[in-house]
């Protein structure tokens, strides 16, 4: 069986950081055959649009968007 890793990154109102972080994180995951999942926790800025602009281009990248901020304690996935 092949080793694999999925990197999960939470994001809340991170539009400035995502523009810098996502290209490098996606490239690193591609080089190492990892999967990357960004969980947008109800951002009210343009984080969702930025995440979506990358998700349609990359096979190893996925995103989950919460409609409202669920915070640290939530155990529910998706809406």
Q: In the predicted model, what is the mean pLDDT of residues 34-53?
A: 93
**What is the Cα–Cα distance from 54 to 79, expressed in whole angstroms?**
21
Q: What percent of the chain has pLDDT over 70?
A: 85
Beta strands in the chain (DSSP E): 6-11, 35-41, 61-66
The model carries a pTM of 0.78
pLDDT higher than threshold 80 for residue 79: no
Read off the pLDDT band of 75 (50, 70, 90): low
Lowest mean pLDDT among 1-5, 6-10, 53-57: 1-5
SS3 68: coil
Q: In the predicted model, what is the mean pLDDT of residues 38-64?
A: 88
């Amino acid at each position: 069986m092949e080793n694999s890793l999925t990197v999960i990154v939470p994001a809340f109102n991170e539009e400035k950081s995502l523009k810098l972080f996502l290209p490098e994180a996606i490239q690193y995951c591609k080089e190492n055959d990892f999967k990357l999942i960004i969980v947008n926790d109800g951002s009210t800025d343009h984080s969702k649009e930025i995440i979506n602009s990358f998700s349609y281009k990359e096979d190893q990248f996925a995103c989950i968007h919460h409609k409202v901020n669920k915070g640290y304690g939530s155990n529910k996935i998706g809406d």
